[in-house]
A and B are shown apart, each in its own frame.
Chain A
Amino acid sequence: EPEVTQTPSHQVTQMGQEVILRCVPISNHLYFYWYRQILGQKVEFLVSFYNNEISEKSEIFDDQFSVERPDGSNFTLKIRSTKLEDSAMYFCASSELAGELFFGEGSRLTVL
């Protein structure tokens, strides 16, 4: 069964460092998303991406964040200068249209 895959599963970084989280969405999907879940809190939308550009973004997704689809398969989330409050589980997801959303297993980011 096709699935969304994410790497790394866990990353520990120092405050101020750049982090890149990687995702391989399901191959025939056109819409890609990043969500995050801070421990004990709700899952929050960060950004959606379609046709090689951002289609929606939340207030959380400020200038420190960027997304890219560098080739035909990968979808990345970059955090330029990490802060302590960026510590969270980051989920990549994909869908065909505004339909069923498929999530990856997540990348746990710990900022020290």
Chain B
Amino acid sequence: GAVVSQHPSWVICKSGTSVKIECRSLDFQATTMFWYRQFPKQSLMLMATSNEGSKATYEQGVEKDKFLINHASLTLSTLTVTSAHPEDSSFYICSARSFRLAGYNEQFFGPGTRLTVL
């Protein structure tokens, strides 16, 4: 149980285009989903937290107009990188949390999406 999927697993795009990454909780309803970014050989940095049906909360320094997050249902959150640039190339990881499943203290992670912007 507690499986989280991400799609696509990798994507290459041209500079200036937008890319959408999907995060799905497959066998549970996620009240909260999180988006992390990980640059090579670095740690995971939280970008934003989203609760179903409400606006995402972005961490300091993360541009909300550039990284659009939509959490339309209890099993799906999307991250859209708008007008992507090479510096947005990174590994994006989502996670999901269900209070009913594991309280507030455990997140279930997706496999990640590697974005390369040319």
Instruction: Say whether A associates with B.
Output: no
